[in-house]
A and B are shown apart, each in its own frame.
Chain A
Amino acid sequence: MSQDIFVVIEHLRGQVADISYVMLAAAGELSKGIGGNVIAVLLGNKAEGLAGNFAAVQVLYLDHPALADFTSDAYQKALAGLISEKQPRAVLFGNTSIGADVASGLSIKLGLPLVSSCRSFGADGKFVSQICGGKIMAEGDLPSPTALVTMVPGGYKPEAGQSAQPPALTRLEVAGLDALRVSLAKYIEPEAGDVDIAKEPLLIAVGRGIQQQDNIQLAEDLAQAMGGVVCGSRPVIDQGWLATSRLVGKSGKHVKPKVYLAMGISGAPEHAEAITDSNTIIAINTDPKAPIFDIAKFGTEIDLFDLIDPLIAKVRAAKGG
């Protein structure tokens, strides 16, 4: 039983996800509150190279061919062995397609408490989680003996989880990864979009508030006038009104443009987490209580349908004149 704080690193096809660094930063803050070392847990096959910039005291590297790509069964089995052996104070997972798949299973299997959707830790080590679309926060003591925590981004900057000094790496053997019930058949690339919105400096984003497919044209007109690109939140992509390559959100792209103009977007956490690194977020939403206004720099309650034509006209005038 140790006071260490484990962080389960998430990586996909040779890239470490930002959430891993956010968690390392969170773990750092947590350790300030309750003590203990930040230990990064890296699972993979021939993946030591990924650990170069983790802000951790140590990296436990579990190597096995079955861990080369994430599969829930293999990762859960490997982690179960590690956690029951090491008995850390806390294990941080991402609340993602990787972390959320295994944390709950480990909770039941090992009989350990689980807190999900955690955004940050208080000075005394209390967890602060968000539920109900970010409208409600729940706070509590970090449960004992080993708290499994899944984390959402937004509470810490990824940079805070990075370090110039590569941490010490300990390679561990993994056993018991036979008779796996989940295997990866193949990856399917996303449809090659004409644009990579993650690289665009100006994004015009539409959400449910755009109401109808035909109204997307208004956003296109504005984008064209300004030289920007149209993207959308999940409801718009699910309807098929925009290609999946234009999805901004937890399952879509994380973007960091100079200006993000959010029209008719409420700002639910899954979307908000993908745009917080934008330079300037401008939100247009008739609901003054929309959570988007909490992350936007500028906002207006004017109906987007009243605003868009004058805006296009003035943009054109500004460019032409």
Chain B
Amino acid sequence: MNIVVLVKLVPDLVEELNIDPSGAALDMSWLRLIINEFDDHAIEQAILLKERGGGQVTIVAPEYEGVDEVLFTAAAKGADRLIKLSGDASAGSAQVFVAANNHALARACAAVIKELQPDLVLTGVQANNDLDGPLGPTLAECLGMPYVGYISGVTVSDGKVTARKEYPGGLIAEMEVKLPAVLGIQAAEQPPRYVAVSKVRMVMKTAAIEERAADALDPSGGPAVGRMFQPEAAVHAEMITGSPDEVADKLVSIFKEAGVL
């Protein structure tokens, strides 16, 4: 089973997010980039499938600042091949990719992934910086493969895959998908495993990251942003202050007024 996982790095929401001087984009200078948590789940799901049924797992990621460590960590978990997409060197790849929209990323990655001839492509169902739809279904269409998203369980049988698709309220739909296909992972069947730092460091000595040059990015299909801003809440909660006892008292009176006490 030839599995490819496409990984994006996204802004870490722990840091404060600022708008850049143009007023229409995020200020990149203060951004810390971390792996999209859903892509992390996709890696875990891929490794689980490999552990169960054998095969090869290839991780593909565009070149962001800090992507090497993400790739090596995946290798330490059991990924076999690591491929990094490098962009136009003069512009500074890292800058290029972090500002690219998913249409551009999908087209650039599709070229590389096609070559790998995967049976299954896994990627996170969404990312926190998606503005032109998630990467998964966009990529799928570029590859000419079917797509099912919001997946929390994958079983492989010959030629096809049974994917558990999540609907609201805890309802699951079991979808049968003909391979090759792209799945958008909501949650892996177990939480992403821990990899000790020393294991990652050991892997850094033995694993190699293959670099592929990406063609010029084509972002057409994404929207033009006129302005970005931090939302001002139209309303804000009435804040209750005081000691825990005082706050508890106020809450009890709110409960009574609301008719639940």
Task: Tell me, rounded to whole Å, the shortest Cβ–Cβ distance linking B59 to chain A.
Answer: 22
In the complex the two chains form, is B244's CB within 8 Å of A310's CB?
A: yes
Q: Which of A216-231 contact B (CB under 8 A)?
A: 226-228
Return chain B residues, CB-CB under 8 Å to A148. Answer: 133
CB-contact partner of B223 in A143, A186, A301, under 8 A: A143
In the complex the two chains form, is A254's CB within 8 Å of B249's CB?
A: no
In the complex the two chains form, is B238's CB within 8 Å of A298's CB?
A: yes
Q: A252-B169, A282-B251, A310-B248 are in contact. Are A137 and B221 (CB under 8 A)?
A: no
Interface presence of B89 (CB below 8 A)? no
CB-CB contacts of A243-283 with B at 8 A, as 1s and 0s?
Answer: 01101001111100011000000000000000000011111
Return chain A residues, CB-CB under 8 Å to B244. Answer: 302, 306-307, 310-311
* A17 vs B129: C-alpha distance when bound (angstroms): 26
In the complex the two chains form, is A190's CB within 8 Å of B17's CB?
A: no
Task: Tell me, rounded to whole Å, the shortest Cβ–Cβ distance linking A94 to chain B.
Answer: 11
CB-CB contacts of A100-139 with B at 8 A, as 1s and 0s?
Answer: 1111110111011111110000000011011111111111
CB-contact partner of B224 in A72, A132, A143, under 8 A: A143
Question: Which among A26-34, A39-47, A177-185 touches the partner chain?
Answer: A177-185
Q: A103-B133, A117-B130 are in contact. Are A280 and B258 (CB under 8 A)?
A: yes
CB-contact partner of B237 in A130, A259, A299, A319, under 8 A: A299
* A31 vs B194: C-alpha distance when bound (angstroms): 51
In the complex the two chains form, is A73's CB within 8 Å of B146's CB?
A: yes
In the complex the two chains form, is A188's CB within 8 Å of B171's CB?
A: yes
In the complex the two chains form, is B175's CB within 8 Å of A136's CB?
A: no
* A175 vs B236: C-alpha distance when bound (angstroms): 51
Return chain B residues, CB-CB under 8 Å to A2. Answer: none
Task: Tell me, rounded to whole Å, the shortest Cβ–Cβ distance linking B203 to chain A.
Answer: 27
* A295 vs B233: C-alpha distance when bound (angstroms): 8
Interface presence of B128 (CB below 8 A)? yes
Return chain B residues, CB-CB under 8 Å to A69. Answer: 173
* A202 vs B255: C-alpha distance when bound (angstroms): 9
Task: Tell me, rounded to whole Å, the shortest Cβ–Cβ distance linking A6 to chain B.
Answer: 17
Return chain B residues, CB-CB under 8 Å to A126. Answer: 226
In the complex the two chains form, is A187's CB within 8 Å of B221's CB?
A: no
Q: Which of B136-179 contact A (CB under 8 A)?
A: 136-138, 140-142, 146-150, 162, 164-178
* A313 vs B249: C-alpha distance when bound (angstroms): 10
Return chain B residues, CB-CB under 8 Å to A279. Answer: 258
How many of chain A's residues have a CB under 8 angstroms from any CB in B? 98
Return chain B residues, CB-CB under 8 Å to A72. Answer: 137, 146-149
Interface presence of B225 (CB below 8 A)? yes
Return chain B residues, CB-CB under 8 Å to A226. Answer: 255, 260-261
Interface presence of A296 (CB below 8 A)? yes
Shortest Cβ distance from A269 into B: residue: B128
Q: Which of B102, B231, B237, B259 has the most CB of A within 10 A?
A: B237
Interface presence of A140 (CB below 8 A)? yes
Interface presence of B26 (CB below 8 A)? yes
* A127 vs B221: C-alpha distance when bound (angstroms): 15
In the complex the two chains form, is A298's CB within 8 Å of B237's CB?
A: yes
How many of chain B's residues have a CB under 8 angstroms from any CB in A? 84
Interface presence of B54 (CB below 8 A)? no
* A114 vs B130: C-alpha distance when bound (angstroms): 11
Interface presence of A286 (CB below 8 A)? no
* A111 vs B248: C-alpha distance when bound (angstroms): 57
Q: Which of B32-64 contact A (CB under 8 A)?
A: none
Return chain A residues, CB-CB under 8 Å to B125. Answer: 100
In the complex the two chains form, is B225's CB within 8 Å of A259's CB?
A: no
In the complex the two chains form, is B146's CB within 8 Å of A141's CB?
A: no
Task: Tell me, rounded to whole Å, the shortest Cβ–Cβ distance linking A245 to chain B.
Answer: 6
Interface presence of B86 (CB below 8 A)? no
* A271 vs B252: C-alpha distance when bound (angstroms): 25
Shortest Cβ distance from A238 into B: residue: B187
Interface presence of A1 (CB below 8 A)? no
Shortest Cβ distance from A301 into B: residue: B239
CB-CB contacts of A176-219 with B at 8 A, as 1s and 0s?
Answer: 00000111111111110000001001100000000000000000
Return chain B residues, CB-CB under 8 Å to A164. Answer: none
CB-CB contacts of A294-321 with B at 8 A, as 1s and 0s?
Answer: 1111111110001100110111001100
In the complex the two chains form, is A132's CB within 8 Å of B11's CB?
A: yes
Return chain B residues, CB-CB under 8 Å to A97. Answer: 149-150, 165-168
Interface presence of A150 (CB below 8 A)? yes
Task: Tell me, rounded to whole Å, the shortest Cβ–Cβ distance linking B242 to chain A.
Answer: 8
Interface presence of A54 (CB below 8 A)? no
Query: Footprint of A on B, CB under 8 Å?
Result: 11, 13, 17, 19, 26, 102-103, 106, 125-126, 128-134, 136-138, 140-142, 146-150, 162, 164-178, 181, 184, 186-187, 191, 220-231, 233-241, 244-245, 247-249, 251-252, 254-256, 258-261
Q: 10 closest Cβ contacts across the A-B interface? A: A190-B170, A299-B237, A294-B233, A104-B133, A104-B137, A108-B141, A181-B146, A296-B237, A188-B172, A185-B174
> What are 28 A-to-B residue pairs whose CB atoms are below 8 Å?
A70-B173, A97-B167, A101-B150, A104-B136, A115-B131, A116-B132, A129-B131, A132-B11, A136-B17, A136-B230, A184-B175, A184-B176, A186-B173, A187-B174, A190-B170, A245-B170, A251-B150, A251-B166, A251-B186, A254-B168, A295-B233, A298-B237, A298-B251, A299-B238, A300-B240, A302-B244, A310-B244, A314-B252
